[in-house]
């Protein structure tokens, strides 16, 4: 006699960051009655990337037209503002400046204007006098003003998504084993020995997504290389009115050290981008030898390091030398001194790197049997989380 399989839920989501919770929210919106369980290893939502970022609602100006990042960020920014308004989450559409401080950056700044227009984002070009009208203490040769950029608290957004989704969210539930059988769905075991069965698995494990894919028996074809972003708080927040960014280097998916007036009125300066010695390595003193060994045994990590060591060395120098960091900030904000900067909490980015050393630029979502894996969701994935959640939900519902 064949016994009927009993499932604890229809969809099992691993990861209670903004992407996992948006996915849960999108599934229950699109298919009411679908039973979703979210397993999160921490005691609450948003304890990693989602709760440790710049809190910027990105406009979408930086991203290649047609890419998932461009499409989802532009749409996601508008939806995020609406979501925050609907649920009473503090937010503001502040606009931001991207400022060229050297002649060599002017061509790149102009390319950004073009890109912004292609992505349908209104931008205003500014000369030095107009920069001073927006930001009296900021110096630059030229700048662009992007009106649709905003700020919010993504930790609160994640908490709201959890409540509004109606999903069962189990905190303190670290998935340590995954058993997937074609006819039986997916059974996961958590560190405390519980077993949860579902029909389809969704991997939104952020900094651990490659390991979770491998636990499920799928080859992700990439590895997460964790890059820490260190921040300082500006003790003279009156030096900055809003959001001020440098012109980014298009070879890297990082935006460069910026000045961000957050929702509470304080100004954050950062983040840089240095290799983290653990997936959740929020300081140089956090080293997890097994995780580090996993990173250095990935050929792509060496190839990437070989290609970008010069950029990396500069970032590491600024991590250890506050005066070097201050010098970099002074390019944008000459009045700042080392004494104006006090260390603040860091974040770690989950950046996917391919075997050939390519830093994956776009969002990356892959399917396995009865599984959907989100394998690259770095910035602007918080901004774009509502459209990302819907895209993942569509794939999940097709598998049910």
Ligand X SMILES: Cc1cc2nc3c(=O)[nH]c(=O)nc-3n(C[C@H](O)[C@H](O)[C@H](O)COP(=O)(O)OP(=O)(O)OC[C@H]3O[C@@H](n4cnc5c(N)ncnc54)[C@H](O)[C@@H]3O)c2cc1C
Residues near ligand X (CB under 6 A): 14-20, 39-42, 46-50, 52-56, 58, 174-175, 204-208, 212, 229, 271, 347-349, 377-383
**How many Cβ atoms are within 10 Å of 337's Cβ, its own excluded?**
12
Q: Which of 78, 72, 45, 52 is closest to 167 using CA atoms?
A: 45
When CB distances to ligand X are compared, the closest residue is 17
Q: Which of 261, 48, 272 is closest to 149 using CA atoms?
A: 261
> What is the Cα–Cα distance from 287 to 106, expressed in whole angstroms?
40
Q: Which is nearer to ligand X, 142 or 208 (CB)?
A: 208
**Smallest gap, in angstroms, from Cβ of residue 365 to ligand X?**
11
**Smallest gap, in angstroms, from Cβ of residue 332 to ligand X?**
17
**Smallest gap, in angstroms, from Cβ of residue 276 to ligand X?**
10
**Smallest gap, in angstroms, from Cβ of residue 3 to ligand X?**
28
**Smallest gap, in angstroms, from Cβ of residue 227 to ligand X?**
8
**Smallest gap, in angstroms, from Cβ of residue 96 to ligand X?**
11
CB 201 within 8 Å of CB 216: yes
**Measured at the alpha carbon of residue 322, what is the angle toward residues 318 and 325, in degrees to the nearest 5?**
45
Q: 114 burial class (0-12, 13-18, 19+ CB within 10 angstroms)? A: exposed
Q: Which is nearer to ligand X, 19 or 274 (CB)?
A: 19
Q: Which is nearer to ligand X, 52 or 142 (CB)?
A: 52
Q: Which is nearer to ligand X, 47 or 199 (CB)?
A: 47
Q: Which of 398, 383, 18, 373 is closest to 201 using CA atoms?
A: 373
CB 157 within 8 Å of CB 80: yes
Q: Which is nearer to ligand X, 112 or 202 (CB)?
A: 202
Q: Which is nearer to ligand X, 263 or 333 (CB)?
A: 263
Question: 116 by DSSP, 3-state: which?
Answer: helix
Q: Which of 346, 347, 340 is closest to 323 using CA atoms?
A: 340
């Amino acid at each position: 006699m064949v016994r009927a399989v009993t499932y604890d839920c229809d969809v099992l989501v691993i990861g209670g960051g903004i992407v996992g919770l948006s996915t849960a929210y999108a599934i229950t919106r699109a298919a009411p009655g679908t039973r979703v369980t979210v397993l999160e290893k921490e005691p609450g939502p948003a304890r990693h990337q989602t709760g440790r970022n710049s809190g910027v609602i990105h406009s979408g100006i930086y991203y290649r037209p047609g890419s998932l990042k461009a499409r989802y960020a532009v749409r996601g920014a508008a939806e995020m503002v609406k979501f925050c308004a609907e649920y009473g989450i503090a937010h503001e559409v502040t606009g931001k400046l991207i400022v060229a401080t050297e002649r060599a950056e002017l061509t790149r700044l102009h390319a950004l204007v073009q890109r912004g227009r292609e992505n349908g984002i209104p931008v205003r070009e500014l000369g030095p006098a107009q920069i001073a009208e927006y930001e009296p203490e900021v110096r630059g040769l030229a700048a662009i003003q992007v009106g649709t950029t905003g700020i919010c608290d993504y930790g609160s957004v994640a908490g709201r998504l959890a409540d509004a989704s109606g999903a069962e969210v189990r905190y303190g539930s670290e998935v340590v084993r995954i058993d997937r059988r074609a006819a039986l769905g997916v059974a996961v075991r958590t560190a405390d020995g519980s077993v949860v069965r579902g029909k389809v698995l969704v991997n939104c494990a952020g900094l651990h997504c490659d390991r979770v894919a491998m636990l499920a028996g799928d080859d992700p074809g990439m590895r997460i290389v964790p890059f820490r972003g260190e921040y300082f708080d500006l003790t003279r927040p009156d030096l900055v009115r809003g959001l001020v960014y440098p012109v980014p280097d298009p070879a890297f998916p990082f935006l460069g050290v910026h000045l961000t007036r957050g929702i509470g009125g304080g100004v954050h300066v950062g983040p840089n981008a240095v290799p983290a010695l653990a997936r959740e390595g929020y300081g140089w003193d956090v080293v997890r030898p097994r995780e580090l060994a996993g990173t250095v045994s990935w050929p792509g990590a060496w190839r990437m390091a070989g290609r970008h060591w010069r950029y990396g060395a500069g970032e590491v120098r600024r991590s250890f030398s506050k005066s070097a960091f201050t010098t970099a900030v002074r390019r944008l904000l000459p009045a700042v001194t080392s004494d104006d900067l006090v260390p603040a909490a860091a974040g770690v980015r989950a950046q996917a790197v391919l075997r050939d050393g390519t830093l994956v630029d776009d969002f990356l979502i892959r399917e396995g049997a009865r599984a959907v894996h989100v394998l690259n969701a770095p910035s602007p994935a918080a901004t774009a989380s509502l459209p990302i959640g819907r895209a993942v939900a569509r794939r999940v519902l097709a598998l049910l």
